[in-house]
Structure 1
């Protein structure tokens, strides 16, 4: 299969979960990819699994020095970039009364500030006619208890994506987003939960989702790649990959 042959792709947050699923499909389709992560174990496992078509590099979105250094590394390894996936993010749950300034700053740094300046730095390397796909979340519209800060970061990311779509349309660069619901990923996408809390969180997600299950990382990857490659007359769109969760909320 060579659907993506000749494409150069960057995946921010590509060493696990949804980002890794995107990387696998791109590599299988003949693309050359560069993916970032910060966990040494995940970096090694991704490199071993993806092979020589993937450049796996350590880069922390919360570290602006690392963010500023990334474009030179991308240019060295790939040259220009056809597809950019901004996937990394963290979620720390807690009611508003208990959220700390450190938690607030950490989530905004990784989920919004880091992606903003990462995209800014990579703009000169994005080829005309390319595509950018952000990973937001259903939490940016659901008003879920315990997710106030996380939801705000993802809402901000979606607003950024819309502005970027307007700014890049003249270059033929399309900018869209996938909005996952409850997805089976390592740790469930939430930091700091015990095994029992993870099980309860998963059960609650299955119960809330009209399709009564979690989605898979590969289901999100297929949606992201559709927006990046096949949806050639689509820009500024957010595609829900959530088993009907947001549609159910909107319909109530």
Structure 2
């Protein structure tokens, strides 16, 4: 592969935006997607002008078709696909909501799976596919069962997808952030806490490294998985959490 290209879903803020910046700095041609108009507008203003910023709803297969068409016209092929779009809707069993449940699985599971399906013709041999999962998929967190289930479904697919795409040397791996200071994390916490800053400070104190993750922590791992340094890594999950979740 010569020219390096990347499509990052959920790339207009947080981890996705930080990854776009790192990959662009490393010479990639980059496209990002986002749903919220304010995030799309901010990304267009703040990311380098040659980064392709596309408005798309991860739940919509028609939007995904349009994204793939525009990226194909601009780049021709993809060497990296970072499936990062996601939502978090904290809900306990006694407060669960069918519409919220359906939204979580539509974005986090169906949307990401079909983005891979539809982008497959663009993926160059030897390309890298990275999926954002999260440590909540395998560790207990009250009120997180629906979001965890949507991510856990993706995690369960990783080994099979890796084997299916191995004949083309396309690598498929997952990156699982711990608690990371992103706009989505703060929005999610506002639904369960009246003092988000205090809640995040308490979470940081409980982390073995004494801090929460920041988007660049995760973006660096994604950049590694996209690089030739990870050319023999496939079917794996890399947890980036500062040691969170290790204690019994």
Taking structure 1 as the reference length, the TM-score comes to 0.92
Q: What are the residue-to-residue correspondences of 1:133-172 with 2, within 5 Å?
A: 133-172=130-169
- The answer to whether the aligner puts 1:111 opposite 2:82 as a matched pair is no
Following the alignment from structure 2 to structure 1, what is the Cα–Cα distance between the partners of residues 76 and 145? 39
Q: Which moved more, 1:195-204 or 1:33-42?
A: 195-204
What CA deviation, in whole Å up to 9, does each residue of 1:193-244 have, x standing for no partner?
2673423441342233211210110010001111111211110111110010
Following the alignment from structure 1 to structure 2, what is the Cα–Cα distance between the partners of residues 206 and 240? 17
CA drift of 1:38 comes to: 1.1
Equivalence for 2:207: 209
Is the contact between residue 92 and residue 190 of structure 1 (CA under 8 Å) also seen in structure 2? Answer: no
Equivalence for 1:48: 45
Name stretches of at least 5 consecutive residues in structure 1 with no aligned partner: none
Q: 1:101 to 1:192 in 2, by over 3 A?
A: farther
Equivalence for 1:233: 232
CA drift of 1:151 comes to: 0.4
- The answer to whether the aligner puts 1:76 opposite 2:65 as a matched pair is no
Equivalence for 1:243: 242
Is the contact between residue 71 and residue 121 of structure 1 (CA under 8 Å) also seen in structure 2? Answer: yes
Q: 1:236 to 1:54 in 2, by over 3 A?
A: same
What CA deviation, in whole Å up to 9, does each residue of 1:138-188 have, x standing for no partner?
000112110000000110111122221111111011111110001111142
Q: Which moved more, 1:202-211 or 1:108-117?
A: 202-211
Q: Which moved more, 1:194-203 or 1:132-141?
A: 194-203
Following the alignment from structure 1 to structure 2, what is the Cα–Cα distance between the partners of residues 60 and 75? 18
Q: Which moved more, 1:64-73 or 1:227-236?
A: 64-73
The correspondence for 1:224, drawn from 222, 225, 229, is: 222
Q: Which moved more, 1:189-198 or 1:61-70?
A: 189-198
Following the alignment from structure 2 to structure 1, what is the Cα–Cα distance between the partners of residues 40 and 208? 35
Give 3-state SS (helix, strand or coil) of 2:125's partner: strand
CA drift of 1:247 comes to: 2.4
Following the alignment from structure 1 to structure 2, what is the Cα–Cα distance between the partners of residues 192 and 220? 20
Q: Which moved more, 1:9-18 or 1:91-100?
A: 91-100
CA drift of 1:45 comes to: 1.7
Q: How many residues align?
A: 246
Equivalence for 2:194: 196
Is the contact between residue 17 and residue 217 of structure 1 (CA under 8 Å) also seen in structure 2? Answer: yes
- Root-mean-square deviation (CA), in Å? 1.8
CA drift of 1:246 comes to: 2.5
Give 3-state SS (helix, strand or coil) of 1:66's partner: helix
Is the contact between residue 138 and residue 181 of structure 1 (CA under 8 Å) also seen in structure 2? Answer: yes
Taking structure 2 as the reference length, the TM-score comes to 0.93
Q: 1:201 to 1:96 in 2, by over 3 A?
A: farther
Give 3-state SS (helix, strand or coil) of 1:61's partner: coil
Stretches of 4+ moved more than 6 A in 1? none
Name stretches of at least 5 consecutive residues in structure 2 with no aligned partner: none
Following the alignment from structure 1 to structure 2, what is the Cα–Cα distance between the partners of residues 104 and 33? 31
